[in-house]
Structure 1
Amino acid sequence: MSFCLPFAFPTLANRTHLPPAAAFEEAGAKGLIWSMAISMVVGGALRFLGRNGRGKTLFQKEAMAIVGLSWLLATVLGALPYFLSGTSISEGSPITFIEAMFESQSGFSTTGATVLTDLETPELVPHCILFWRSWTHFLGGLGIVVLFVAILGQGSAGKAMMRAEMPGPTKENSMPRMQKTALSFAGMYIGLNVILTIVYMIQGMTLFDGLCHAFGTMATGGFSTYNRSLGGFDSVGIETSTIVFMILAGTNFTLLFLCCINGPKNLFRDIEFRAFIGIIVAVTAGIIFFGMRHSDQGFESFGGSLRYGMFNVVSILTTTGYGTADFDQWNNFARGSLLILMFIGGCAGSTGGGMKVIRHVLFYKILRLEIERAHRPRVVRLLRIGGNTIDDPNLTRGIEVYFCMILGLFVVSWMLLITFEPNSTWGVVGELSEQAISVDTDGNVVNKPSTLDEKLLDSASAVAATLNNIGPGLGVVGATQNYAGFSQGAKLLFVWLMMLGRVEVFSVLVLIFPSFWRRV
């Protein structure tokens, strides 16, 4: 937060003659200071209330409660800087507290979805608030609780909290001490952020832009300081560097740690990483082929096709959400492929969101075994992955339950959105008539208003983009759009979905069951 102070406080002698932008910067800094004060009071009160619990054993149930409730509290406290600083989503539209919570949760969950329509006008969004929203990416990158364990250390309690917070299946006992693991991950994470900031500055970014975009890249968040995201720089070098670091951020940090010790030979021995890279290559190839075939914007040459195709595939797969092109204008194969990638995500143990590559690998293997058992019931074949036999029925059952739960959450949230979200969000105020559609002299449609059919797809992509922590979706939440047009109720739903997607789903869902809070 102290980074914004030079932007915020002019000398006392000039304070009565502040230009409008500087006045808003000062208001933004005051909002941050008040937010820090309120957060410290809340933190001190919670510490006082929990003073008798020091030294007691923390069980799995308590760890899940701490993780879920800490994310709820972080969302509320993280919303204060936006709400108290006078930030506006557009001219004449001050941000509401629900919208501030949306922006806060989007930052901490590293989703990168936003309700702010103009990031380049200090009178609407002060620079210090831009830095705050990127800083929430940094904090959420490895998870607030993981960094808490790394910094403070909680022994066996820290191990339970880290398991509850880290999304995706993890390798058990990869290191004997969980605090050492968290410290190693935090060290790599901070180091990669520093390196990428330097790389960005060498390629022409300022320190402010370099820090903000490094936080957004390594956290796979996607908050930018420009309305056009990274596309505003129009730099092949910056995009290439971002691709490399997005792939690193989407890779299992345990695997990266082992590569630091034993060399990169471990990378392609890992089945999840091979599948991760294979998906990038295969989908990029398909998007390039169909993009050039349909002459989509940016696909006029192979170089341009590779540039825009690979960047946006990696950005969506790793759940970063940076944009360099309006992929909502691409052909249906490309748009459909990107929508599918939203449900895959990065590797387990990475900063990426989504369902995780390893879950899809395991789900495929489980389905293949079940299909074989259907026509060869006497054949006994064990589930193997990476040369290891998996004989734990709880793991396979957990994978199946997780897929069903994500599907259920997606369907229920989608139905709620298409049922209760006003049609006016899509510009549809009533039944469309032929007069509502503009045509040229040859009878070709040149201006077709939004339809209720688009509401179905746009709502589905909005739910997928928030539940899987992507950020941009299709249509009204596409690469050049945002979530400002949705109702307050829809934004509150998106806050909940972003939290479910970032934290292990069960750690949040258990909070709504009364039985969870009963003493056994």
Structure 2
Amino acid sequence: MAFSLPFAIPALAKRTYLPAADGFEVAGARGLLLSMAICMFIGVVFRAIGRKHRGGHLFQKEAMAVVGLSWVLATVLGALPFYLSGTQISEGSPITFIEAMFESQSGFSTTGATVLTDLESPGLVPHCILFWRSWTHFLGGLGIVVLFVAILGQGSAGKAMMRAEMPGPTKEGSMPRMQATALAFAAIYVGLNIILTITYVLEGMTCFDGLCHAFGTMATGGFSTYNASHGQFTSSLIDYTTIGFMILAGSNFTLLYLTLLDGPKRLFRDVEFRTFIGIIAVVTAGVVVFGMRSGDAGFATFSDSLRNGMFQVVSVLTTTGYGTADFDRWNNFGRGILLLLMFVGGCAGSTGGGMKVIRHILFYKILRQEIEKSHRPRVIRRLRIGGMTIDDPNLAHGIVVYFAMILAIFVVSWFLLVTFEPSSTWGVAEAETAGSVESSGDPTKQLIRKNTLDEKLLDSASAVAATLNNIGPGLGVVGPTKNYAGFSQGAKLLFVWLMMLGRVEVYSVLVLIFPTFWRRI
């Protein structure tokens, strides 16, 4: 039932400085209120069912089921406003329910990928729906379940749900009461959203744009109210403000809490945060050097190069996905390094997606130990990080398994997309039938087909990486100036599943498809 309440706030939102058909805005508000009524009804039904089972203990298995099914239900219910409001992905193309689910999951998972091709033309997307899609970022920032635990409080049940929901390996600084932890995280998160909104307004944004972009920044989501994303504002001040807050959003919220108590020195005593900042510095330097040498767009002067390079590096690393420049037109080093950053992500316990910096640190240490064991088998070294010894014997195994799972999901999803997605997605319908092109003997058609197949391999890989790691924009047909509207309905369902897997760290969603998970033991 609590999930129905957030539908009411966007129903009041309107970007009044743009022309809009009042009837269309009313239809948008009506879609939100109708969605709210449906959610309330479903909530009443579930509450009645839940009363029959009150008093039972919520163990890890049940917590995983609650988290996984909550995200599935949130995806479906969050799609209702898009579908019921008359939203169109382009002129004369009403949004389908699968596309509405894509937009919903993209919002809640803070991915920021979209199927909407025009956000600014009147009569396509109601302003209240624009606010709703950014509002889903706010709700998904720390996880729907985490925020609800903070608000409702569920005792030991809340503790189990928090463990199932919070991303990344457990680190130092955890507080004894999970409800207090959730409240502290929520307070920091809401406070940073308020500060950033006020800052944006002072820097020239309207209140509507300030709220929407603050939600997208602090949730590391990336939904914008403009087709040009953050490039719409052409302001160095706004860009650097966004960079700073994206770094905060990509940092461990436990660490931010402890920094408030102990001072800023606490930040740089943390090995994950130091590595996080080091990646930003080193990769930005490489992007700037190669960008200026190649004469890429946005790299005309050093100041422009630094701003655009750092913005895109931080945006991709933190999985925010905002853009100030079309990085798909950069040199191969720039495009390649951003593709690799998609598999890094923010810090554990942040609002960012991806595999998390701490996992990469641990994975490197595990590999180094294994290499040493190959030529010094009698040496026994304990895994250490930040001067602390890790006593959990299963952690190394869990890290390696997680990397293997992500690789397997990426490869299988990429192969499915390459195999079954029609080449018409890339705008070359005749390339779908290889035999007819090859037999025609026309070298131009054969070259078009070859280029299409080459683009399909890379674009499909970047689309899978961008959705699995909750980035949003990728390369080629899903580049920063494009979207996911051209993909088939089946591919969009695949992306919905990948975004959900990436957001809840694989296990809570993946276990739902295994029959053994549902058996009583």
Q: Same fold (TM over 0.5)?
A: yes
Find the aligned partners of 1:415 and 1:277 in 2 and give their Cα distance: 34
Partners of 2:8 and 2:33 within 8 A in 1: no
Which residue in the other structure is 2:507 paired with? 506
Q: Deviations over 1:93-147 (max 9, x none)?
A: 0000000000000000000000000001230000000000000000000000000
Find the aligned partners of 1:236 and 1:132 in 2 and give their Cα distance: 28
Which residue in the other structure is 2:106 paired with? 106
Q: Deviations over 1:398-433 (max 9, x none)?
A: 000000000000000000000000011112222484
Partners of 1:164 and 1:504 within 8 A in 2: no
**Aligned-residue offset at 1:378:** 1.9
Which residue identity is paired with 2:244? V
SS for the counterpart of 1:378 is coil
Q: Deviations over 1:217-262 (max 9, x none)?
A: 0000000000000101111011010000000000000000000000
Partners of 2:83 and 2:100 within 8 A in 1: yes
Q: Are the structure 2 counterparts of residues 206 and 396 from structure 1 closer, same or farther at C-alpha, using a change threshold of 3 Å?
A: same
Q: Are the structure 2 counterparts of residues 100 and 421 from structure 1 closer, same or farther at C-alpha, using a change threshold of 3 Å?
A: same
Which residue identity is paired with 1:457? L
1:480 and 2:474 correspond: no
Aligned counterparts, 1:259-298, within 5 A:
259-298=259-298
Judge which range, 55-64 or 209-218, deviates more.
55-64
SS for the counterpart of 2:470 is coil
Partners of 1:9 and 1:26 within 8 A in 2: no
Partners of 2:173 and 2:255 within 8 A in 1: no
Which residue in the other structure is 2:434 paired with? none
Q: Deviations over 1:154-195 (max 9, x none)?
A: 111111101101111122671110000000000000000000
Find the aligned partners of 1:101 and 1:457 in 2 and give their Cα distance: 25
- TM norm structure 1: 0.94
Q: How many residues align?
A: 504
Which residue identity is paired with 1:149? V
Which residue in the other structure is 2:41 paired with? 41
Q: Are the structure 2 counterparts of residues 172 and 269 from structure 1 closer, same or farther at C-alpha, using a change threshold of 3 Å?
A: closer
- Structure 1: stretches of 5+ with no match in the other structure: 11-18, 439-446
1:84 and 2:73 correspond: no
1:93 and 2:93 correspond: yes
Q: Deviations over 1:434-489 (max 9, x none)?
A: 44599xxxxxxxx9995110100000000000000000000000010100000000
Which residue identity is paired with 2:399? I
Aligned counterparts, 1:257-406, within 5 A:
257-406=257-406
Find the aligned partners of 1:411 and 1:99 in 2 and give their Cα distance: 24
**Aligned-residue offset at 1:22:** 1.4
Which residue in the other structure is 1:451 paired with? 452
Which residue identity is paired with 1:98? I
Aligned counterparts, 1:221-232, within 5 A:
221-232=221-232
SS for the counterpart of 1:396 is helix
Aligned counterparts, 1:236-251, within 5 A:
236-251=236-251
Which residue in the other structure is 2:134 paired with? 134
Which residue in the other structure is 2:3 paired with? none
Find the aligned partners of 1:143 and 1:7 in 2 and give their Cα distance: 23
Find the aligned partners of 2:327 and 2:423 in 1 and give their Cα distance: 24
Judge which range, 388-397 or 172-181, deviates more.
172-181
Partners of 2:220 and 2:250 within 8 A in 1: yes
SS for the counterpart of 2:89 is strand
**Aligned-residue offset at 1:283:** 0.4
Find the aligned partners of 2:113 and 2:20 in 1 and give their Cα distance: 28
Find the aligned partners of 2:233 and 2:23 in 1 and give their Cα distance: 28
Find the aligned partners of 2:513 and 2:487 in 1 and give their Cα distance: 25
Partners of 1:105 and 1:495 within 8 A in 2: yes
Which residue in the other structure is 1:153 paired with? 153
Find the aligned partners of 1:276 and 1:27 in 2 and give their Cα distance: 45
Which residue in the other structure is 2:206 paired with? 206
Q: Are the structure 2 counterparts of residues 115 and 160 from structure 1 closer, same or farther at C-alpha, using a change threshold of 3 Å?
A: same
Find the aligned partners of 2:363 and 2:209 in 1 and give their Cα distance: 40
Which residue identity is paired with 1:402? Y
Which residue identity is paired with 2:301? S
Judge which range, 172-181 or 90-99, deviates more.
172-181
Which residue identity is paired with 1:218? M
Output the aligned Cα RMSD.
Answer: 1.8
Partners of 1:102 and 1:491 within 8 A in 2: yes
Find the aligned partners of 1:262 and 1:331 in 2 and give their Cα distance: 43
Aligned counterparts, 1:419-434, within 5 A:
419-428=419-428, 429-430=430-431, 431=437, 433-434=442-443
Q: Are the structure 2 counterparts of residues 193 and 484 from structure 1 closer, same or farther at C-alpha, using a change threshold of 3 Å?
A: same
How many percent identity over aligned positions?
Answer: 76
1:125 and 2:134 correspond: no
Which residue in the other structure is 1:492 paired with? 493
SS for the counterpart of 2:163 is helix
Q: Are the structure 2 counterparts of residues 259 and 435 from structure 1 closer, same or farther at C-alpha, using a change threshold of 3 Å?
A: same
Which residue identity is paired with 1:259? T
Q: Are the structure 2 counterparts of residues 457 and 9 from structure 1 closer, same or farther at C-alpha, using a change threshold of 3 Å?
A: closer
Find the aligned partners of 1:334 and 1:219 in 2 and give their Cα distance: 25
SS for the counterpart of 2:384 is strand
**Aligned-residue offset at 1:391:** 3.0
Q: Are the structure 2 counterparts of residues 56 and 7 from structure 1 closer, same or farther at C-alpha, using a change threshold of 3 Å?
A: closer
Q: Are the structure 2 counterparts of residues 487 and 236 from structure 1 closer, same or farther at C-alpha, using a change threshold of 3 Å?
A: same
Partners of 1:8 and 1:26 within 8 A in 2: no
Which residue identity is paired with 1:487? S
**Aligned-residue offset at 1:20:** 6.5
Partners of 1:7 and 1:25 within 8 A in 2: no
Find the aligned partners of 1:296 and 1:461 in 2 and give their Cα distance: 21
Partners of 1:25 and 1:122 within 8 A in 2: no
Which residue identity is paired with 1:75? T
Which residue in the other structure is 1:444 paired with? none
**Aligned-residue offset at 1:54:** 2.7
Which residue in the other structure is 1:32 paired with? 32
Find the aligned partners of 2:154 and 2:117 in 1 and give their Cα distance: 41
